[in-house]
Amino acid sequence: MNRCWMGWAALLSLNVSIASDVILVTGQVESRHSQDILTPVTTNRQGKISELADEGSWVDAGDVVVQFDGSDVDSRILAAEDDLMLFKANIRRDLIRLEIAMRNADLDAEKAQVEVEIANMEAGVPLDLIGELEYRERQLRKARADNALIETRQQLSDATKALSEKQIELELGLARKTDKLDMWRNMLESYTIVAEQPGFVIHSVHPWSGSKLQEGDQAHSGMQVASVAQNTNMQVISWVNAVDIPHLADDQNVSIRFDAVEAVILQGTISEIALAGDVKPEWGDGLYYRVVIEMQGAEALELLSGMSVLVEIPVRSSV
């Protein structure tokens, strides 16, 4: 198993012309039924791999394949939970204070209404029954009661409005803080990546160092760190230097040799050539294009995802 698993260990994308009419390119066997595992979005744009299933190990759907270090997010979750708890306590305090103010304003308004009714009754006594001085004093008390009623009703309206506005403000604040806490919790959950299908675990190659990723390594968000591959519907993935791309074409025939299966040469066909190239720092300057190759007769071989191959590509004249 060890010998057939990873033939040319580092899987350098070798582009060498051994003759004027042939280009040699290394590649890797890959299942079309493959789950690519990428580094999730993190707090600092890269994550530390704390757990990684052994390469070549079999996993079932639901098994943990990669676990990223979530200690930083853990601390953020604790801080967000404390902040939310304090905010809820402040909500209760502020609402109780405003509700008391509104009830007091309501009582003042009711009291002012009673004072107005009494003042109206007293002011309704005819002048000739109580004398001019008493009459004028009663009219003055009525005016004051009317003004007091207007003022207390305004205070009640203001208190009611303040309570309503505070409730809206607190609801929005509570939603923001809850959403923030949910965001951190979802981020932490994304740090644990499980297999979506049964298959073998394949570790990815670090794009800068060219070495296999392992526990303790750092990976940028979006970087592929592993894959879960089945052993059906196999194809070959190669990366071809931009210099050689003009010599390739769709449906072009190629020959494939396997490091792990001696004396076996399969014929293949180029099925896809990427429209844009990628930078591969570990291979030097230049762009490399992803090329997909379909194999003929691969079903008769016991191929495993991750096996390395050597592809012979006949040179075609550039257009």
Element at 80 (helix H, strand E) = helix 71-123
What does the pLDDT read at residue 20?
Answer: 57
Pairing of strands 234-241, 253-258: unpaired
- Residue 188 token pair: 């932490």
Name the residue ranges covered by the structural domains of the chain. Answer: 1-33+230-319, 48-69+191-221, 73-190
Q: What is the mean pLDDT of residues 250-273?
A: 90
Q: Is 23's pLDDT higher than 70?
A: yes
Residues whose CB is less than 8 angstroms from the CB of residue 271 and which lie 6 or more positions away in sequence, other chains included = 235, 250, 251, 292, 293, 294
Task: Give yes or no for a contact between 293 and 7, defined as CB atoms under 8 angstroms apart.
Answer: no
Please write the tens of the pLDDT for every residue from 224-235. 999 998 888 889
Rg, Å, the chain Cα set: 39
Residues whose CB is less than 8 angstroms from the CB of residue 259 and which lie 6 or more positions away in sequence, other chains included = 7, 8, 307, 308, 309, 310
Q: Is 300's pLDDT higher than 70?
A: yes
Percent of the chain past pLDDT 90, that is, above it, reads 56
Task: Give yes or no for a contact between 312 and 254, defined as CB atoms under 8 angstroms apart.
Answer: yes
Please write the tens of the pLDDT for every residue from 81-139. 999 999 999 888 989 999 999 999 999 999 999 999 998 888 888 887 888 888 889 89
Q: Is 19's pLDDT higher than 80?
A: no
The tally of CA atoms less than 13 A away on the side-chain side of residue 255 is: 10
CATH fold label, 1-33+230-319: Elongation Factor Tu (Ef-tu); domain 3 (2.40.30)
Q: What is the pTM of this model?
A: 0.66
Type of residue found at 187:
M
* Residue 14 pLDDT grade (very low, low, confident, very high; cuts 50, 70, 90): very low
Type of residue found at 153:
R
What does the pLDDT read at residue 5?
Answer: 39
What is the overall mean pLDDT for the chain? 87
